[in-house]
Structure 1
């Protein structure tokens, strides 16, 4: 089942045409959201990011697109699929309506929502192998457009293929200034002694929801310095820990980068705090 513009219907109903602008031009945005026990986790933050992104993309925001509408449409689908009370991953998609070439006929939009089950209600950290390397074939341009969660993910797709071919679990992305900005599927944090770094949004990384939550948690830790600064590839092997954040996994420690192996103590100490914020926020 999907929620297509407010109508719950089977997934085999072919509502998307060959003229869909998300398909043809990547003229679409999406949010990936956790729903736990009937609660949209970080719902307001996801909603505000989506609305801000729609404005940047010059999409017309319908009057009914309120926070209450956003959350209620998500929960309507979750309930209709029989997953009420269970952990669910939701993808909320917004695309500009059909028409035009690069320049659209108008800026009206349609949304559809998908829901799939999750294994765990809480964010967890496993001891599974998690190795990464830098993806150097293509670079992300720094700037506001790179911070949006659009359906234009060519770099991430090719990077994912590269990771699979090289038996890696993920790759780290560089911007055109050759700074490390993020992983293929999330934001990056680096821990060295009592200093914690994460790339600034201006470097071209995604304006991540969990990134923002983790930064708030880190600011409360005594004895640590938190910096939003550019990260050189040379800093990676000198780090004590590296970890990735996103809305589905929460926190994913990197165990290995090339020949360097990392500890996971800091990340494991942080995951409980993130779970508490997610449940109470």
Structure 2
């Protein structure tokens, strides 16, 4: 596999990072998962906006190359180098350069991109449980993808142990926050609901786009703090991340309503981009 490391395409075996690397030592950075589809990096403007937000929070300097108009083409070229044809998943990791202990030596960043073929995920509805082993940890860092993610690892272990499709993460006060790898939404009488960012949920790329879609349709959008029983009264509950949307069919074994027509409308809206 080929990598894109600080702007240079190199074979994977040529990558050499020291043990003093700040991503390894302190998780001092973030990452983005992006999709390339038929010659285009999907939602690039939203990814760039979130990277700017992450850099501001972490007091990192955003690599100037990310602002270049041809940077998405550099990603797509990496996909070609790795023989990814129609669709490709990129993982862009950014971390603080230099060494040091907690106090950094610099605010400049190193970065690395991997590219692998992407196959569309399953579309069958999700059977979900409520996570009991861990809650979200709301903080200034929870809105973007940090490279230290024990919350999602522990929740995913519980998912595996319970043989479920996903786990619903609650915040420390018991409010609905997110799923292990996607945001959660629900619709009731043409009103879109989703947890507030203060619950510790990711400020997801699809989250931004679903909210825009609802506002464009003049639907009320309510971001807030909700206890999980509200999901059982919704017309449709669905998850969303950059790979797409997926309905929830049950929560802790209780069947959820599913407005199939609305789900198809949403899927058509975002799959066509």
TM-score (structure 1 length as normaliser): 0.89
Say which SS state the counterpart of residue 90 (structure 1) adopts.
strand
Contact 1:253 1:264 (C-alpha < 8 Å) held by counterparts:
no
Say which SS state the counterpart of residue 163 (structure 2) adopts.
coil
Say which SS state the counterpart of residue 68 (structure 1) adopts.
coil
1:22 alignment counterpart: 23
Taking a change above 3 Å as real, the CA distance of residues 67 and 190 of structure 1, as seen in their structure-2 partners, is farther
Please show how residues 238-277 of structure 1 align to structure 2 within 5 Å: 238-248=233-243, 250-262=244-256, 263=258, 265=260, 266-276=262-272
Which one is further off, 189-198 or 168-177?
A: 189-198
Q: Deviations for 1:218-238, whole angstroms, at most 9, x for unmatched residues?
A: 22336x432112121221223
| Structure 1: gaps of 5 or more residues | none
- Measured after TM superposition, the shift of residue 140 of structure 1 is 1.9
Say which SS state the counterpart of residue 189 (structure 1) adopts.
strand
In the alignment, the residues of structure 1 paired with residue 190 and residue 122 of structure 2 have an alpha-carbon distance, to the nearest angstrom, of 22
In the alignment, is residue 126 of structure 1 matched against residue 123 of structure 2? Answer: yes
In the alignment, the residues of structure 2 paired with residue 196 and residue 125 of structure 1 have an alpha-carbon distance, to the nearest angstrom, of 24
In the alignment, the residues of structure 2 paired with residue 93 and residue 50 of structure 1 have an alpha-carbon distance, to the nearest angstrom, of 10
Contact 1:189 1:198 (C-alpha < 8 Å) held by counterparts:
yes
In the alignment, is residue 216 of structure 1 matched against residue 212 of structure 2? Answer: yes
- Measured after TM superposition, the shift of residue 100 of structure 1 is 1.3
- Measured after TM superposition, the shift of residue 125 of structure 1 is 6.3
Contact 2:133 2:158 (C-alpha < 8 Å) held by counterparts:
no
Contact 1:61 1:109 (C-alpha < 8 Å) held by counterparts:
yes
Count of aligned pairs: 270
2:146 alignment counterpart: 150
- Measured after TM superposition, the shift of residue 67 of structure 1 is 4.1
Runs of 4 or more consecutive aligned structure 1 residues displaced over 6 Å after TM superposition: none
TM-score (structure 2 length as normaliser): 0.91
1:88 alignment counterpart: 88
Task: Give RMSD over aligned pairs.
Answer: 1.9
Q: Deviations for 1:158-183, whole angstroms, at most 9, x for unmatched residues?
A: 10000000001111111122211111
| Structure 2: gaps of 5 or more residues | none
